[in-house]
């Protein structure tokens, strides 16, 4: 589908504003606006709130639409609905990102400032690859995963759909993390996680 010259970002919270900043720096859209369900929300940047999230469906023919909601399940729900309705959903990549050969990044995914993604890794749809994260070679990050700021993933790691790796977490090479996991801030994952749940500590253990 051809991309539009206007972009709508659903969600004007802190995460949404970082997303907007990346979109501005990409220099690809002539106009950028937010949708948010919170009537009180104020945008301190030059991107303004022009309606509520449901209004997205009426803008589908005029705007590219990006879902900037931190909760993985909510983001998945809204992005899926928009996809079914025929929305053009872009991929947002900060210009400072370092991306290796044969890296694929899906639609609706944002890759933030200072991220490194090395050769032959695949990032799914609707993911958040947050500020300064490192995803080394041959990783498979499935759809709607959030890799928080400063998380570091070694080589040949798989992260299942919708899982969330907390800020500063570390994953050793050749480890699989199943779908439905929350890896706590600073946790170090050294072996496969095969049961959904919350894991914290060094080495990471289920709580
Ligand atoms: C793991 C996490 C989800 C748990 O949150 P929670 O369910 O609200 O748990 P609580 O804060 O009630 O903590 C429960 C216990 O686990 C401990 N704990 C929580 N997070 C921990 C962590 N990351 N590492 C080690 N221990 C942790 C708490 O100290 C507490 O221990 P206690 O019972 O002995 O007092 C959360 O602490 C966390 O790490 N979130 C990551 C946030 C993040 O990365 N944000 C980035 C956004 S971009």
Is the Cβ atom of 132 under 6 angstroms away from ligand 1? no
Domain boundary among 61, 90, 119: 90
Tell me which residue of 91, 169, 157 sits closest to 127, measured CA to CA.
Answer: 91
In this predicted structure, what is the pLDDT of residue 43?
Answer: 83
> Which CATH number does the domain housing residue 188 bear?
2.160.10.10
In this predicted structure, what is the pLDDT of residue 44?
Answer: 85
Is the Cβ atom of 185 under 6 angstroms away from ligand 1? yes
In this predicted structure, what is the pLDDT of residue 45?
Answer: 85
Is the Cβ atom of 50 under 6 angstroms away from ligand 1? no
For residue 198, the CA-to-ligand 1 centroid distance in Å is 9
In this predicted structure, what is the pLDDT of residue 46?
Answer: 87
Alpha-helix runs per DSSP H in the chain? 14-26, 72-84
Distance CA 100, CA 155 (A): 13
In this predicted structure, what is the pLDDT of residue 3?
Answer: 78
Indicate which residue's Cα is closest to atom 36 of ligand 1: 184
Same domain, 116 and 170: yes
Indicate which residue's Cα is closest to atom 32 of ligand 1: 207
Which backbone phi and psi does 33 adopt, to 5 degrees?
Answer: -140, 160
Distance CA 190, CA 172 (A): 5
Same domain, 154 and 183: yes
| Whether 146 contacts 126, CB under 8 Å | no
Radius of gyration of the chain (CA): 17
In this predicted structure, what is the pLDDT of residue 197?
Answer: 98
Is the Cβ atom of 130 under 6 angstroms away from ligand 1? yes
Domain boundary among 74, 90, 106: 90
In this predicted structure, what is the pLDDT of residue 1?
Answer: 59
User: Domain for residue 79, yes or no?
Assistant: yes
For ligand 1, mutation pick of 72, 166, 193 (most atoms within 8 Å of CB):
166
Domain limits for position 83: 6-90
For residue 144, the CA-to-ligand 1 centroid distance in Å is 21
pLDDT tens readout for residues 118-161: 999 999 999 999 999 999 999 999 999 999 999 999 999 999 99
> Which CATH number does the domain housing residue 57 bear?
3.40.50.20
- Show which residues are catalytic: 137
| Whether 34 contacts 20, CB under 8 Å | yes
Distance CA 93, CA 19 (A): 9
Same domain, 10 and 39: yes
Is the Cβ atom of 203 under 6 angstroms away from ligand 1? no
What b/e readout covers 51-60, taking b as 16+ CB neighbours within 10 angstroms?
bebeebeebb
Same domain, 36 and 86: yes
Tell me which residue of 70, 11, 15 sits closest to 38, measured CA to CA.
Answer: 11
Q: How many of the other CB atoms lie within 10 Å of CB of 35?
A: 23
User: Domain for residue 207, yes or no?
Assistant: no
- Write out residues in the chain with pLDDT < 50, as ranges: none
The DSSP symbol for 179 reads: S
Same domain, 84 and 134: no
Q: Is pTM beyond 0.85 here? A: yes
The DSSP symbol for 47 reads: P
Whose tokens are 């499935």? That residue is: 142
For residue 202, the CA-to-ligand 1 centroid distance in Å is 13
């Amino acid at each position: 589908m051809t991309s539009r010259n206007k972009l709508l970002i659903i969600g004007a919270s802190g995460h949404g504003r970082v997303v907007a900043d990346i979109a501005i720096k990409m220099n690809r859209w002539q106009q950028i606006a937010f949708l948010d369900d919170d009537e009180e929300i104020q945008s301190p940047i030059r991107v303004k709130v022009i309606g509520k999230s449901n209004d997205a469906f009426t803008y589908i023919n005029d705007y590219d639409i990006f879902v900037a909601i931190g909760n993985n399940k909510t983001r998945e729900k809204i992005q899926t609905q928009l996809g079914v309705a025929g929305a053009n959903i872009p991929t947002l990549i900060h210009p400072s990102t370092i991306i290796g050969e044969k890296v694929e990044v899906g639609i609706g995914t944002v890759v933030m400032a200072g991220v490194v993604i090395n050769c032959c890794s695949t990032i799914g749809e609707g993911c958040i690859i947050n500020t300064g994260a490192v995803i080394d070679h041959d990783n498979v990050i499935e759809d709607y995963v959030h890799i928080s700021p400063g998380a570091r993933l070694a080589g040949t790691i798989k992260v299942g759909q919708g899982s969330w790796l907390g800020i500063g977490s570390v994953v050793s090479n050749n480890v699989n993390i199943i779908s439905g996991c929350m890896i706590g801030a600073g946790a170090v994952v050294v072996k496969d996680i095969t049961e959904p749940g919350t894991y914290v500590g060094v080495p990471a253990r289920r709580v």
